[in-house]
Amino acid sequence: MTPTPEFEIAIVGGGPAGLSAALILGRSRRATVLFDAGAPRNAPAAGAHNVFTRDGTSPHELHRIGRQQLTPYPSVAVREVQVVDAARAEDGTFVLTDADGRRTTAAQVILATGVVDELPPIDGLRALWGSGVFHCPYCHGWEVQDRPFVLLAQSPHALQLARALRGWSTDLTICPVPPFVIDAEEQRALSELGVRFRAPVQRLVAGSDGTVADVVLTTGEHLGPAAVFTSAPVRQRSHLPEKLGCLLHTEGMFAGQIQVDDHGATGVPGLYAVGDAAQGPQQVIVAAAEGTMMGGFVNGMLLLAGDLPRGVVAQGTKGA
């Protein structure tokens, strides 16, 4: 007889998507385990924006609130450890191995593992990420509005981003990041909008307040203080999606993200992906909404299949 999985649902990743999925599943009385190793993508940012009722709240505070609001639900166990390996058994059960060597079994898995920004190798950039260098004008444009903007163009996405950035500043300079090259037709179209083009950036000089005090080009030219944006591509934070058989987008606006259908299903039975790891807009409020919808969808599918919730965690208590 096949043993019953320890949990009905395992959520890997404790960001906005994972926490929201855990919340609705807890309220649905599903035996759920949330693996939360910390270190969210937006940790360097001073505040998360466009978050309903929480605009400007620090990512750490949002995470604290999200974790705290899981405490009333005994069916949710939280483990502060990274999942380092995963496999799907012949009977469809998922086996997750964490960094402590503990094996956990679950009938369904939601990947909320996030992505990593592939920042260009420019001296001084990484230290300024989140304070002087940004990826999203909707998240940071208000705070730096009407300053000179410098866009580091790494991919075709930069051309769309350049047009969007003009909503927050018309003082915009584009600097390509080799080997990416902007063709003459695109340069002409953007030049007609008042966008300037300069040589690649050699280094960024940090100001005492964490902003960019100077942008130094490979030609030796100094652009002075600026808010710097980048069209950096992303890669999966975890190897688990590919290990479990997920397909990734290799080109276009979703390059590097997991291919999912309208319900977040990956194509692997019982395996779902939400948040920045999966295709779609990369914003805190969107990730949280996806997590909520994903948790409701998984619970609904289980109910339709006749699987009533267990009500409490199969083994251990919260934090076990």
The 10s digit of each residue's pLDDT in 94-141 is 999 999 999 999 999 999 999 998 999 999 999 999 999 999 999 999
Identify whether the C-beta of residue 210 lies closer than 8 Å to the C-beta of residue 125.
Answer: no
pTM (two decimals) = 0.91
- 23-69 pLDDT per residue, tens: 999 999 999 999 999 877 777 788 889 998 999 899 999 999 999 99
What domains lie within the chain, and their CATH numbers?
7-116+233-304 (3.50.50.60), 119-230 (3.50.50.60)
- 249-283 pLDDT per residue, tens: 998 878 899 999 999 999 999 999 999 999 888 89
Q: Which two tokens stand for residue 84?
A: 């380092």
Closest by CA to 284, choosing from 145, 106, 77, 140, is 140
CA contacts within 13 A on the Cβ side of 269: 8
| Residue type for position 30 | R
Q: Which two tokens stand for residue 277?
A: 């790891």
| Residue type for position 303 | L
The answer on pLDDT for 315 being more than 60 is no
Determine the pLDDT at residue 320: 42
